[in-house]
Amino acid sequence: MSDEPPPAEMPTLAQTPEPVEPTIKQAYLLSGRIVVLDPTVGSWLYGGGRFFGQPVGIHKPKSDIFTKPLELSFLEAKYLLRKGLIQIIDFQKRENLSIEAITTLASREYDDFESKYAIYEDLRDKGYVVRPGLKFGADFGVYKHGPGKDHSLFLVQVMKQNSTISAMQIVLAGRLATTVRKRFVIANPTARSYYVFQWTKL
């Protein structure tokens, strides 16, 4: 008989301890991207069901704690900055960036950034986890708990500011809802209202 203890079981995602919130949370503007260099900060932003950002080089993290930098979208960066959860520093100039500066930079990267941000903020404030929805042909995929923990509740396509919903948008929304078998939502950023299309099998 061996006196060696049995090997310990590898912790699952549910067993992994939640990252401790760092006192100082900084992100940097690097070559037009918003990057969190400190893995402790990145793990806290992504972990604990928050799901902000994406660990660099890790497509589907198996743990809340990782050792890679974290890249934030401009939507996430502005939201976190507005909530006072991070500082964003221009890496070259070593200057803190304001919300206005981030908005200006983001508007160059996103088509109609302000409309998308209005809906992103509204959904996050309602307690949803909001992730990119490009693979489904939408702006956002929206979760109750987050990717890897549950399936997306619905997909969101954002209308432009001060626009009206067209008949063609309704037809396309219905088709996409049928294709992906999910609820598809057209979001009005001006009124912060939502038009829901749901796939059903007859």
Q: What residues act catalytically?
A: 143, 151, 182
Tokens 């793990």: give the residue: 43
Q: Are strands 183-188 and 154-158 parallel, antiparallel or unpaired?
A: parallel
Type of residue numbered 99: I
* Dist. CA 141–CA 157, nearest whole Å: 9
Sheet holding 154-158, edge to edge: 129-132, 140-143, 154-158, 183-188, 193-197
- 59-75 burial, b at 16+ Cβ within 10 Å, e below that, comes to eebebbbbebbbbbbbb
